[in-house]
Amino acid sequence: MGYTIYYKITFRDRKRVTKVIKPILEELGLTAYEKGTEISIRPPTNSVEPMRIKENEWLSVKTYKKQPWTGIYKLLLVSLSSFASVEAFDDEGWSLK
C-alpha cells in the first residue's frame, strides 16, 4: 500500500530554482539533475520513488510515508512556491495551494 503526493508546478524563474535548490538537496543527500525540461530528484534509497518536476503537468511521487523522504519532498514543494505556482496534495488531506 502506498502513500502518494500529487503536485503541479508553474515556474516563474526556472533557472533560479535549479541554482537554489540543487545545492540544498545535495546537502541533504539527494541528487538533483536536469534532463531536458525535467528536473529529477533522487534520494539515496530505492524505498521511495524519485521526484520528477515538469512544468504545468500533474505528477505524483510514492513515498510510502517513509521519513525523512516524505517530509523532504513536502518541504521541497513549499520551498518551490517561492519561485513558482505550486499546487499539491496527498492521500491524507495535506494540501498546498
Quick one: which of 71, 81, 50, 62 has its CA closest to 4? 62
**pLDDT surpassing 80 at residue 1:** no
End-to-end CA distance of the chain: 26
Whole-number pLDDT of residue 16:
87
Whole-number pLDDT of residue 74:
97
Whole-number pLDDT of residue 2:
82
Predicted confidence (pLDDT) per residue in 12-69, tens digit = 988 888 899 999 999 999 999 998 889 999 999 999 999 999 999 999 999 999 999 9
Domain chopping of the chain, boundaries: 4-92
Residue whose grid cell is 540543487: 22
Query: Is the model more confident about 37 or about 8?
Result: 8
* Entry pTM: 0.92
